[in-house]
Amino acid sequence: MHTTTEKNADATVTTARAKTLLIGGGLLLLGGVLEAIGPFGWGELLEMSVLFPRLLVLSSAVVFAVGVGAGAALAGTRPLSRIALILLGFSSFVSLMAPDVFMLVVFFGYLVPPVILQPTVIITVAASALLPVAFAVIAGVSIGRARVMPNPWAWVPLPLLVLGVAAGTLQALIYSRLTPLTDSYAGARLELVHTVIPLLLGGLAMAVGLVLARRRAVSSR
């Protein structure tokens, strides 16, 4: 038998988790929508059409990592899990920075001996490609273990996060000419995957948040 205090505590946690999923999911879903329609709907504000959606994605990662109330942090309370989730949100800017990295490589290629430049480029490319995937794995596993989202939905973000990050990173490397792959159609297909994943994750978070909110409303009657 649960005491009244325990029931109130459970209700508070459920409410906090519902708010976290609804707010974070809403930000992520809005960021995905603006990312998809940005080049077509923003006109002259093209730079903002690129930056603003990714700021929304980063904001959603912060909301998910911190949580709106006790027991609502989507990836649990371990600092590594929270940091990985926030860095994962920040990694959405990698595809913006990759063309600039390419220009810097070209510029320094005239100044730095190849024996020094080549290892630097390899390390930079490897870090930009592998670190976001590592963040996605850590965050996805942490979300699954924390079970703030009820099963079986708790483990759904892991493959979606890894797929989305891998597609976005590879797309950035293709467009910045930091990989032998130069097929523009491949880049477009990867961009589609990278754009759809936030929509799926945001929609999932909001759907689960609505279910939790409904459960809370029913249990309070």
Paired tokens of 90: 């920040």
Is the CB of residue 214 less than 8 Å from the CB of residue 23? no
Select, from the ranges 27-41, 46-60, 182-196, 197-211, the one with the highest average predicted confidence (pLDDT). 197-211
Range of lowest pLDDT (20-29, 82-91, 101-110): 101-110
The C-alpha atoms of residue 220 and residue 218 are separated, in whole angstroms, by 5
Average pLDDT, the chain: 77
Is the CB of residue 70 less than 8 Å from the CB of residue 49? no
The C-alpha atoms of residue 65 and residue 143 are separated, in whole angstroms, by 10
pLDDT in tens, 107-150: 555 555 555 555 665 666 666 667 888 899 999 999 999 988 88
Q: Which residues, other chains included, contact 112 with Cβ-Cβ below 8 Å and sequence gap of 6+? A: 120
User: What does residue 11 show for φ and ψ, rounded to 5 degrees?
Assistant: -65, -40
The CB density around residue 166, as the number of other CB atoms within 10 Å, is: 17
**pLDDT at residue number 1:** 46
pLDDT band at 193 (very low <50, low <70, confident <90, very high): confident
User: What does residue 181 show for φ and ψ, rounded to 5 degrees?
Assistant: -75, 125
Q: Using alpha carbons only, give the angle 85, 90, 91 rounded to the nearest 5 degrees.
A: 95
Task: Let me know if 52 is exposed, middle or buried by CB neighbors in 10 A (0-12, 13-18, 19+).
Answer: middle
Mean of pLDDT values over 194-208: 90
| Percentage of the residues of the chain whose pLDDT score is greater than 70 | 64
**pLDDT at residue number 91:** 80
pLDDT above 60 for 48:
no
Mean of pLDDT values over 211-215: 89
pLDDT in tens, 49-90: 667 888 898 999 999 999 998 888 999 889 999 999 998 888
DSSP character at residue 150: P
